[in-house]
Amino acid sequence: MTRQPFQDTVAALSTPPGKGGVALIRLCGEEAIEIAGACFRAKNEKDISLFPSRLAVYGNFYYQGEPVDDVLLTVFRAPHSYTGEDTVEIACHGSMLICRTILEALYSKGARPAQKGEFTRRAFLAGKINLTEAEAIAELLDAQNREQIKLFQQDSRSHLSLALASLYEGISSLLSAVYAKVDYPDEDLAELSREEILSSLEELMEKTERLCHSYKTGRAVAEGIYTVLLGKPNTGKSSLYNLLAGKDAAIVTEYAGTTRDILEVSLSLGRVLLRLADTAGVRETDNPVEKIGVEKAKDAARSAELILMLFDTSSPFDEEDEAMLAFAKKTKAVKIALLNKSDLPALWDASRLGEGFAHILPISAKKGDTDALCACVDALFTDGSLQIGEDAIVFTARQFAALERAKEMMQNAKRGLAAGFAEDAALCELEAAAVALAETDGRAVSEDIVSGIFSKFCVGK
């Protein structure tokens, strides 16, 4: 995609709409300083064009000759701004009426309303950030826990960007060497031997594989794992759901079949984000409403990535437990068996469950100890050798798919060279790998993909 910078000037509210102590309005573009200067009068009576960059200046903001608010105005001159353009930030009182009036004043002088994510998109088009950094910023705005903040913060973004850039530079250097060997076979251009080409290719493949492997952790933290609580009625599913959710989200009674519909909540369990669903108890029933709930529970389990199966060891193991086991073992999800009510005398043990479980854990939802469950889930869905915030971690399906394509093309090139084909036979595969790597950080990516990424942003960012 050819990066074409914007030519006009845009303005938007960058803080959430609503009543607050302070609001921030951002204005950027070629005429940002001129437009802001037409509406602002500094208390020191200096012209805005004379303001030093990054100095907050106190003054009044006007619309149609009438004062609107006393504000702090800061100028950020190109290229040393978030977007790489002249930018003005106006800190005013957090009244929606004041914010609307200031924006109307800016629009009347030639600015236009900014679109969703337009400030960050301008930063991308100006080369201030790459596409992986833009994706991380978008995710950071919606972060739900501290692990996500660590994954999307600036240091993490830099680690991933540097890793992707290193891969791209490596494949580009290898391509140049192979082209030289093919195009000028009789010249002394310090060309690589076939063995050296294969060795370089192997090194690039290993780096690509490590990044691909990191997606397991990145996805678990960023997107989350769809998880279903499954069990027969009255095993404590809703109690565990409330415990993990940290609130009374589900009704808990001593009566079986209280839960009829699926309740869902996103929550952190260690480093992993769980998209957790509490379902109706799975059993045979003549109640038409409960029957619908049971079918919904089974449908949810079929699409789950993780099933937490609850058993009540303080009650006899019966046909309903057997039926639920048989159903669950047909699903594709990773399964953890939770032997609930472990604080009560047990009437049976884990040997009744057979195989098919990643872990079998005693638990007491009443006592609230989830440390063992947390450790199991973390081990199943993240790589313990990766340090979030310190290592390069892939966190979107788009990045992962591009890296997988690059790895496949490099493998094809390696197979061809190892089989004795001429170096020029590998060029097509190496070029395709370079294109795939260029897509990861936006060096080469379609406008549709870019638009899709920035459509997830809010106005003002």
Average pLDDT over residues 308-332: 88
DSSP string covering 240-253: HHHHHHTS--S---
263 touches 231 (CB < 8 A): no
Say if CB 293 and CB 284 are below 8 A apart: no
pLDDT for 423 beyond 80: no
- Provide the pLDDT for residue 80: 93
- 336 falls in which pLDDT band (50, 70, 90)? very high
Place of tokens 């994706």: 135
Structure token pair of residue 100: 């609307």
As a whole number of angstroms, the distance between CA 62 and CA 147 comes to 44
- Annotated domain spans of the chain: 10-128, 140-220+395-442, 230-379
Mean pLDDT to the nearest integer, 336-342: 91
Calculate the CA dihedral of residues 50, 56, 62, 66 and round it to 10 degrees: -120
How many helices and strands, by DSSP H and E, does the chain display?
Answer: 14, 13
Model confidence at 259: pLDDT above 50: no
> What values do phi and psi take at 422, rounded to 5?
-65, 155
Q: What is the DSSP annotation of 404-426?
A: HHHHHHHHHHHHHHHTT--THHH
| Greater pLDDT, 441 or 433 | 433
Rounded mean pLDDT, 105-124: 93
pLDDT score, position 287: 65
200 HSE (CA, 13 A, CB side): 22
Residue 255 is predicted with a pLDDT of 38
Q: What is the CA radius of gyration of the chain?
A: 29
Would you state the pLDDT for residue 283? 61
Question: Is pLDDT above 80 for 442?
Answer: no
pLDDT band (50, 70, 90) for residue 92: very high
Residue with tokens 């074409």: 4
3-state secondary structure of 224: coil
Q: What is the pLDDT of residue 151?
A: 93
Mean pLDDT of the chain: 86
Maximal C-alpha separation, the chain: 86
Tell me the CA distances in angstroms from 305 to 176, 302, 321, 334, 384, one per residue in order.
Answer: 44, 9, 21, 6, 20
Under CATH, which number does the domain 140-220+395-442 receive?
1.20.120.430
71: β partners: 59
| Mean pLDDT of the 157-185 span | 84
- Is there a contact between 292 and 240 (Cβ–Cβ < 8 Å)? no
Right CATH number for 230-379 from 3.30.465.10, 1.10.1740.10, 3.90.380.10, 3.40.50.300?
3.40.50.300
User: Token digits for 124?
Assistant: 């991308």
- CA 400 to chain centroid, in Å, comes to 12
The two structure tokens encoding residue 439: 């897509």
By DSSP bridging, strand 57-63 and strand 40-42 are antiparallel
The pLDDT value recorded for residue 250 is 42
Whether residue 189 is predicted with pLDDT greater than 80 in this model: the reply is no
Q: How far apart (Å, rounded) are the C-alpha atoms in residues 370 and 349? A: 20
- pLDDT, tens digit (0-9, with 9 covering 90-100), for 374-390: 999 999 999 999 999 99
pLDDT (0 to 100) of residue 341: 87
d(Cα 60, Cα 69) in Å, to the nearest integer? Answer: 6
What is the pLDDT, as a whole number, of residue 64? 94
What tokens does 447 get?
């406008």
**CATH architecture assignment, domain 10-128:** 2-Layer Sandwich (3.30)
| Distance, CA of 234 to CA of 282 (rounded, Å) | 10
For residue 336, the cross-strand partners are 308, 359
How many angstroms separate the CA atoms of 129 and 138, rounded?
13
Task: Write out the DSSP string of 330-376.
Answer: TS-SEEEEEEE-TTS--SS-GGGG-S--SEEEE--TTTT--HHHHHH
Confidence at 249, pLDDT banded by 50, 70, 90 = very low
